[in-house]
Structure 1
Amino acid sequence: MVSKRIQFYFRIIFIFLLFFACQKKKDFGEKITNNKVKIEKTINAADLHYKNKQLDSAFYLYNKARANCNLKQDAEDYVRCMYYMAEIQQSHADFIGSTKTALETIPLLYQLNNSEYVWSIYSVLGRNYYYTYDYPKAIYYYSKAFTIKTDRLSKLEAQNNIAVIYLKQKKFKEALQIFLQINKEEILQQKPKHYAKILDYIGYCYYELQDPKALLFYQMSIKLKSKVKDVDGLGRTYYNLAEYYQKKKATLSMMYAKLSYENYTLSDNTDERLNALNFIIKNSNSAIESKERALIYIKLVDSIYEARQKAKNQFAKIKYDTKREKDENLLLKTQKIKNELQLEKQGSRNIISYVIIILASLLIVFLYFYLTARTNRQKFEATYQSETRISKKLHDELANDVYHTLAFVENRNLSVEENRNHLLQKLEDIYSRTRDISQENNSVLNNQNYIVSLKELISGFNTSDTNLLINGLDEILWNTINENKKASVYRSIQELLVNMKKHSEATLVVITFKESHNNLILNYSDNGKGIDMTKMVLKNGLHNLENRIHSLHGEIDIYSDFGKGFKVLIKLPL
């Protein structure tokens, strides 16, 4: 029986722990999913702004999404956001800021499965170093981009970028070799805009190498760019032609320079527009035109500087505000994590407490059955020994004395005073012996087992029909109360419970013990049928109860009404 109950409790523990672990896993999974959805939604909104060239809004949203990324779980989203932020900073000529943004992703690139973002980060770094004239580093990152496993067009772009750096380093032969190799790629020839750009670079290399084939490639490039309406590309080719005719035909050179300026203006390419304007100012034969163009140049430079400075400050502020907000959020998250850890610890402690309680319950059940069986066995043995001892005493002492007394009565004349006195003495001895045996058997009222005896007395009246409650019994210092008062309390409770059992028909009995102002207060109440106080006559039990309390200088008050239960208040001085 006990074994089955223990198995049942262990099953409950196992089910509870399994449910708790599953609930934690579910909560954690839901938290990750919700954060992932939030990041993707923000990135999609940023992509839309980027596509519509609303770069300020796009930068803000990419930065917001980045701040919500977990570097272990959302590395790809983080790198994607940082790449576009670096691109936007680069488009505003904030090359240092763009480089710093891109470099932050380097430790995460090895985690990515998508090589496209790795290639993009290396490319944006290559362009930043190119624009800041750090050509060795530019070549380094373009070379890394070239080694990435990606599509053929991306590899050709990396090669193209390396060749462009060679142009800046005046390594025209090396650059030309790369451009001619790229020019043979069929995939590139299918993209007119990109192919025209390569033709333009080949023409420039031939121009620098003083090869007349330069003009042919420029013309082929213009034809393709005009066909696809590549306004910005036309600006580049026209500028190259202006340089080409600069020493040969000044008028034609100026015409191409102005065409370059116009196309760069249409494409909103500010930097190249300034280069074309600068070329016109330097080569113009008209002082008035040069002055007008110079004023435009100065105004344009100032506006560009102001706009780019504002953009740099704005991007820096966005990143700073986000960092500050992230730091603040981090503090809040740290506090939240501490609270969650505290709750988890509390939860763990609760689980341990539940396990301990259940194990303790199992132990209590086992001890209950064991101790109950042992107590019953000890009671049976004690009862048997007590009955045997009392029987022996009654036989050895009282029976013999009674026999001798009967014999004395039969053989003596009781009219003689001496015989009467002897008979009375014999009877007194028999009474004394009977009282000694009785007191010996009732010693339980006067020893350290008093509380146990009192509880056993009360529990004997606690049946399926009568519910009996005790309050304050264990709070009384019984070892400080003298034996007569403890015996009186015991007999008083016994009288009240016997009276309740015989007459009241109560279903609920409450007995309360309390010490107050050096008095022991016993409060008894039941919900029985009660009695009419005006017609109440104390019978033997209650009369003895009153006499017993008054003999100890105590007080007793009885309250009752017909149908409203029975109450007794006893006060004994300590």
Structure 2
Amino acid sequence: MGKLTYLLKNRGFLKYPVAILLLGAIFFLLNYYKKETHSISSKKDNSVEIKKLTDMADLFYDSNKIDSAYFYFNKVKNICDPHTNTIDYVYALSCLSELQMSKGNYIASEANATAALPCLKHIKNPRYSWIVYNQLGINYTNSYNYNNAIVYFKKAISLKSSAWRKYIALNNLAAVYMNQEKYREAKKILLILSTQKRVSKHEEIDYDNYSYVIDNLGFCYYKLGDSKTASKLLYEALNIRLRHKTPESLILSFKHFAVFFEKTNPKLAKHYAKKTYREAIKTKNVSDLTNALSLAIKNSEGNELKKYSLNYIKIIDSITAARQQARNQFSNIKYTSQKDKTENLQLKKQKVENELQLERQKNRNIVSYIIILFTSILSLFLYFHLITKGKKEKNHAILESEMRISKKLHDELANDVYTTLNFAKSTDLKLGENKEHLLNNLENIYSRTRNISKENSPIITDHNYNIALKEMISGYKTSDVNIILNGFDLIFWSEIEKNKKIILYRIIQELFSNMKKHSKATLVSISFKMINKNLTVIYNDNGLGTQNEVLNLKNGLQNVESRIKTINGNIIFDNNSEKGFRLSFSFPL
């Protein structure tokens, strides 16, 4: 299992380097609040009292008088204004969290660290964010909530903090991966850290942190099957620790050796398990004691097994009692401090401000709901309006199409059919030339009928659309009319919507139909281009042109303009051509 690197015991370094920043922040905030409401302008400046109480709390903490330290840090927390005394408030919360964590009260520790989170964005120095994130990561690790632990260690790593803080957070992250038995992920991190022996100004701290890294790395190699490399790294870490002889670090080395020799050398495993237990007794840390006893039980038998088992049960009972006593004691301290008149007044004042804030939030919510409701009604109105408008336009288009087909049938076929019928009645069809003339007329009528049918038949819009479109264009090519296509095969036709494909097909069909009837052109050029996610089509022919006159949108060109507008397109008629006709249009894909 991996070893977490905890905070340095001397926490006083947190506040003194930022005294100037703190005074500047307090001055700025006091001036700002004077311009706010009268309730805010009347706030008491507790800076002097906060500093006095914080110094007392630090003194008790450094003297290992945990109960007194907790009492004064709790007083600091209660008289701090999170908006004005932000740094002192976060500092007090982080120390309370650390104290509760040392007693095994991880729930209360997490609560205090979490309470500091909203204030971190108002503190420029990243060390405070690092402390809180690291504490939360350690809390979640000790509570076996590894996913949240990883989140907060990664937050600590991402901060623009000092190199040694990143080093500790990375080692802690690797330790979580080891607890999850993700030894390969842990190894990647530890290999990088193992190349960095000096990351701070304190050699003793660097060697201590480095020993944790290579010891964890050695254990990873052992779990991954490389015993030779594991042994080398574990001994290197042990040699460093034997020079400094700190029980906390020696416990980890002896524990890892006990596991390392468990299968290959049971005697050595038992030897290191005993050494682990002896060092744990020196620390008086119940967590280390229970882990050491568990290891000793695993590697013992007979009377020794019975002795270690009884000690383990005794310690578990004492842990339960001690933790309950600690919770009760801290609860009593908190209750006593809350009875103080100054704290009560502060809490009441804070409560009024919170209620005011809630009322403001409530009003903002009401305004937001009104805006959302109004926006929703407006959106529904526009939606139904557009649907109705679309239906009207569709019906109008259908009516126009029917009228156009009717007009074509009347103008182009009715007279020819009538003339052909009269010719058949009034002439002798036995004669070869009359019979030939009749057949030609019938073939002409059939051809024109087929063309009208094609112009109004369903259009293929699947992956064969480009083939159908090209065939339609080719149908207008004759011995007298040449057609040139540019850029047709460069267009991604599958990206065009079905409706737009149909409209594009009809527009081009309308242009060629108009050319055939009116322009007398012999050469037609049609170009396709993609410009800024818009399809642009340029049509040119060498027909009669518009001869500098205002363009008359009859003969089908009016249909072209109305169709292109239905898909938010633009159309440009060149009405200044002395010879020929030019038109371009574009629409978004």
Bigger radius of gyration = 1
Q: Which residue of 2 aligns with 1:313?
A: 328
Query: Match for residue 256 of structure 1?
Result: 272
Matches within 5 A, 1:164-179: 164-179=175-190
- Tell me, in whole angstroms, the C-alpha distance in 2 between the residues paired with 1:299 and 1:289: 15
CA shift for structure 1 position 332:
7.2
- Report what 1:117 is aligned to: 128
Name the SS of the counterpart of 1:221 in structure 2.
helix
- Post-superposition Cα deviations, 1:63-120, rounded to whole Å, max 9, x if no partner, equal 0011111121101100000000000000111111100111111111111133211110
Report the Cα offset of residue 317 of structure 1.
Answer: 3.2
Residue in 2 that maps onto 1:241: 257
Q: Does 1:57 align with 2:37?
A: no
Provide the rounded CA distance (Å) in 2 between the counterparts of 1:164 and 1:79.
Answer: 27
CA distance in 1, matches of 2:222, 2:147: 25
Partner of 1:41: 52
**Equivalent residue runs for 1:101-112 within 5 Å:** 101-112=112-123
Is contact 1:188–1:195 with CA below 8 Å preserved after alignment?
no
Q: Give the structure 2 partner of residue 398 of structure 1.
A: none
What secondary structure does 2:198 align onto? helix
Q: Is the 8 A contact 2:79 2:346 kept in 1?
A: no
In the other structure, the counterpart of 2:139 is 128
Q: 1:335 to 1:128 in 2, by over 3 A?
A: closer
Shift of 1:244: 0.8
Are 2:196 and 1:180 equivalent residues in the alignment? no
Kindly state the Cα deviation for residue 132 of structure 1 after the two structures are TM-superposed.
Answer: 0.8
Cα offsets for 1:15-50 (capped at 9, x unmatched): xxxxxxxxx99xx99997852110000001101111
Q: Which residue of 2 aligns with 1:155?
A: 166
1:267 positional shift: 2.0
Instruction: Flag the 1:268–1:336 CA change in 2: closer, same or farther, 3 A.
Output: closer
**For residues 262 and 247 of structure 1, what CA distance do their matches in structure 2 show?**
22
Q: 1:265 aligns with which of 262, 281, 292?
A: 281
- TM-superposed CA distance for 1:283, in Å, is 2.3
Partner of 1:87: 98
2:163 touches 2:199 (CA, 8 Å); kept in 1?
no
Post-superposition shift, 1:149?
A: 1.5
Give 2:244's aligned residue: 228
Which range moved further: 313-322 or 107-116?
A: 313-322
> Which amino acid counterpart does residue 234 of structure 1 have in structure 2?
L
CA distance in 1, matches of 2:339, 2:72: 16
Consecutive unaligned residues in structure 1, runs of 5 or more? 1-23, 338-574
User: In 2, Cα distance between the equivalents of 1:269 and 1:50?
Assistant: 17
Name the CA shift for 1:247/1:135 in 2 (closer, same or farther; >3 Å). same
Deviation by residue 1:257-309 (Cα, 9 ceiling, x = unmatched): 000111111122321221111222232122x2211221111111111211111
CA contact (8 A) 1:145 1:158 kept: yes
Q: How does 1:485-496 map to 2 (within 5 A)?
A: none
Change (3 A) 1:36 1:141: same
Match of 1:557 in 2: none
Query: CA offsets, 1:467-525, max 9 Å, x none?
Result: xxxxxxxxxxxxxxxxxxxxxxxxxxxxxxxxxxxxxxxxxxxxxxxxxxxxxxxxxxx
2-structure distance, mates of 1:334, 1:142: 32
What is the distance in 1 between the residues matched to 2:329 and 2:51?
Answer: 24
> For the structure 1 residues 67 and 83, does the alpha-carbon distance in structure 2 shift closer, same or farther, using more than 3 Å as the test?
same
Letter in 1 for 2:290: L
Shift of 1:323: 4.3
Q: Distance in 2 between matches of 1:323 and 1:29?
A: 22
Q: Give the Cα separation in 1 of the matches to 2:141 and 2:335.
A: 27
In the TM superposition, what whole-angstrom CA distance separates every residue of 1:179-209 from its partner, at most 9, and x where no partner exists? 0100111424942111111111011001101
TM-aligned CA distance change 1:219 to 1:74, over 3 Å = same
3-state SS of 1:57 partner: helix
Identity among equivalent pairs (%)? 33
How far the C-alpha of 1:322 sits from its partner, in A, is 3.7
Q: Which letter does structure 2 place at the counterpart of 1:267?
A: T
* 1:202 aligns to 2:226 (yes or no): no
Residue of 136, 154, 163 corresponding to 1:143? 154
Contact 1:39 1:69 in 2 (8 A): yes
Query: Counterpart of 1:93 in 2: which secondary structure?
Result: coil
Pair 173,336 (structure 1): closer, same or farther in 2 beyond 3 Å: closer
- Note if contact 2:197-2:210 (Cα within 8 Å) is conserved in structure 1: no
Please report the TM-score for the alignment, with normalisation by the length of structure 2: 0.50
1:534-545 alignment, distance < 5 Å:
none
Check the 8 A contact 2:79/2:343 in 1, yes or no. Answer: no
Greater helix share, structure number: 1
Q: Over the residues paired in the alignment, what is the CA RMSD in angstroms? A: 2.9
Matches within 5 A, 1:381-392: none
In structure 2, the CA distance between the partners of 1:72 and 1:335, relative to structure 1 (3 Å rule), is closer
The DSSP-based 3-state class of the residue aligned with 1:73 is coil
Q: Alpha carbons of 1:330 and 1:154: their partners in 2 closer, same or farther (altered >3 Å)?
A: closer
